[in-house]
Amino acid sequence: MMNNTMNLCCEPILRFPIRILSVIVAAAMLFSCSGGGEGASTADDGTPVKGDWIVVHLLSDPEGLNPLITNDASSSAIFNHVYEKLLDYDFETTDLYPVIAESRPTVSDDHLTYTFKLKKGVTFSDGKPLTAKDVIFTFKAVKNPLITDAAALRNYYESLSDITAPDDQTVVITMSKPYFLAEYFLGGLWILPKHIFDKESLTDGYSIAETNDMAKAQSNASMKKFAAWYNTPEVKRDPALNIGSGPYMYDEWKTGESVSIKRNDRWWNAGKDKWNPSYADKVIYKVVNDRSSAVVGVKNGEMDFMEAVPPAKFVEEIDTVATPFLSKATYSMQVYTYVGLNCQNPILSDKNVRRALAHCLDRDALIKQVVRGLATPVNSPVYSDRKEYDKSIAPVAYDPAKAKEILAKAGWSDVNGDGVLDKNINGRLVPFVVSILVNAGNESREAIAVAFSDELRKIGVKLEVRKLEWSVFLENLRTRKFDISIGAWVNDPLPSDPYQIWHSSQIGNKGSNYAGFSSPRADQLMELNRIEFDENKRIAYMQEFQRIVADEQPYIFLWSPQYPAIFNKRLHGVRFSRVRPGYNPTQWWIPASQWKYSQAQ
């Protein structure tokens, strides 16, 4: 929707990833809302200081705390401060820069071997050194095919054939075939401590080669035992277990209330990483499952930052003259919002039926009414600011009469006169009754669902709106227990690799191909794209891929939104970036005169 994976977003207008934007800003364009932003104020003497707590809004509980087995944007926004990678994105330029690694890797001419040298003195927050053994462990963990919730991440490492460590500071990774984004994904995996997650050294009992063969995996006792442990709720949720090497440590998770992280005062890289100065003693992510209530919370000073304000409130109600202690900003990322259709549902398996439904969604009206114009329409699964985005693909026009015509040709008619279309499917008369899932508390998606339901009712289709808590919503998508859903995918500023969401191999085993989309030619194009280093050829592959998706209509593509954010001016150093989640609380600081929580420390 990525640690480099695409993350699914729970926020309404989304970030990009998934963060989901009528104005697309250049990667280097940053908004500084403390030094020259709207109504910015000066802080004491203007020198950043360490101290106090920052409270950030979350719409729902994160799915989990462990980066290998969680794939929602809320989780990654938190654990990205706890765990570190070999390489990461420069907040300003979006270029890769070394974090745990000494430098970017040495790459063989055939693009099959990547050698990373690790920095000396890197430690986890418990003081234990981070070495090549931890890197190998992490790759073995994510590659274990029996760890079901790692499926979304695992697809980026399918071509990983071996990983070795000549010494504690060197990692050599071998690929079975080239991958044009290999450096990003090999360098972009969060590194976990082997001594915490693999106390019995079970990952030593299997090779990378064995992880590439499901039959071998199922017959390997070590792999099975490790997966059984890693699949437990404890690994996903326990703050005490999930330790990393980053500037912050998990503090506490109060389910349904908040997740807090506290500064790692023995961080090995303190004062050396300009993008993570870690000024705040704590960052508290407060769960408020209603965005209107969250806006009130920010106005009342209960929260300092909200990344996705309801557009109507942002445009029409939040007045920084009446509330001079608040600042407003919008920012952009690689993200698109969509209505997803389960292609494996017998009612929706016909692409003509899916297109008919698309004709009943008035996207232009929704952009005006639901997101108040803070969005740019998109027509394909490639982010609209990418070179490979196919601008020639026409949108599906709002045309209910055309929808009725298509459905009639597809055999749908009101046989019993009850106002709902019917069709004989597999010898049984089936009414056109389907449901649409939205995550609870997301008013924008609820509004889209209700408007869509009203339009479909006019042509004889009954669409029931179901609101689910975020983790339940995700589980329904991953197990394909849904008819239609509304979601968004967000990504880092990378060239397109749609494999995770669209390749047929990602349908089963809780993969991210929630729509159950399957096309042999599309699969082939995605596979060719991964091994091609010629940008022009990749563009051609991706544009043909987009045309296939547009023809099959597994998604009704909506828009790429702008994120309307508000924050308390006691926060200084607030800037926005194309790097997910678009903001970084470790960069924010609070003048001592405006501390609110210091007495609680």
CA distances from 194 to 134, 137, 439 (A): 5, 6, 35
Nearest to 587 by CA among 2, 15, 23, 30: 30
Angle at CA of residue 335, ends 331 and 339, nearest 5° = 130
The token pair at 190 is: 């969060």
CA distance linking residue 442 with residue 455, whole number of Å: 20
Q: What is the pTM of this model?
A: 0.86
CA distances from 562 to 102, 144, 355, 373 (A): 36, 37, 27, 9
Phi, psi at residue 408, to the nearest 5°? -65, -45
Angle between helices 520-530 and 535-552 (to 10 degrees): 160
CA distance linking residue 121 with residue 475, whole number of Å: 40
Determine the pLDDT at residue 89.
94
CA distance linking residue 177 with residue 111, whole number of Å: 8
Determine the pLDDT at residue 297.
97
Asked, as a colleague might, if the bond just before 554 is cis with ω within 30 of 0, I would say: no
Beta bridge mates, 375: 561
Determine the pLDDT at residue 8.
59
Instruction: Please write the tens of the pLDDT for every residue from 197-241.
Output: 999 999 999 999 999 999 999 999 999 999 999 999 999 999 999
Beta bridge mates, 428: 425
Q: How far is CA 597 from the centre of its chain?
A: 31
Question: Percent of the chain having pLDDT more than 90?
Answer: 87
The DSSP-derived string for 381-431 is SS-TTSTT--TTPPP----HHHHHHHHHHTT-B-SSSSSS-EEEETTEEEE
DSSP 8-state class, residue 281: S
The token pair at 474 is: 């995700």
The token pair at 571 is: 């926060």
Is 331 exposed, middle or buried (CB count within 10 Å of its CB: 0-12, 13-18, 19+)?
Answer: buried
Determine the pLDDT at residue 9.
58
Cβ-contact 97, 88 below 8 angstroms: yes
Instruction: Please write the tens of the pLDDT for every residue from 236-278.
Output: 999 999 999 999 999 999 999 999 999 999 999 999 999 999 9
Residue 414: CB atoms within 10 A of its CB come to: 13
pLDDT lower than 70: segments of the chain: 1-44, 599-601
The token pair at 250 is: 């998990």
Cβ-contact 462, 433 below 8 angstroms: yes
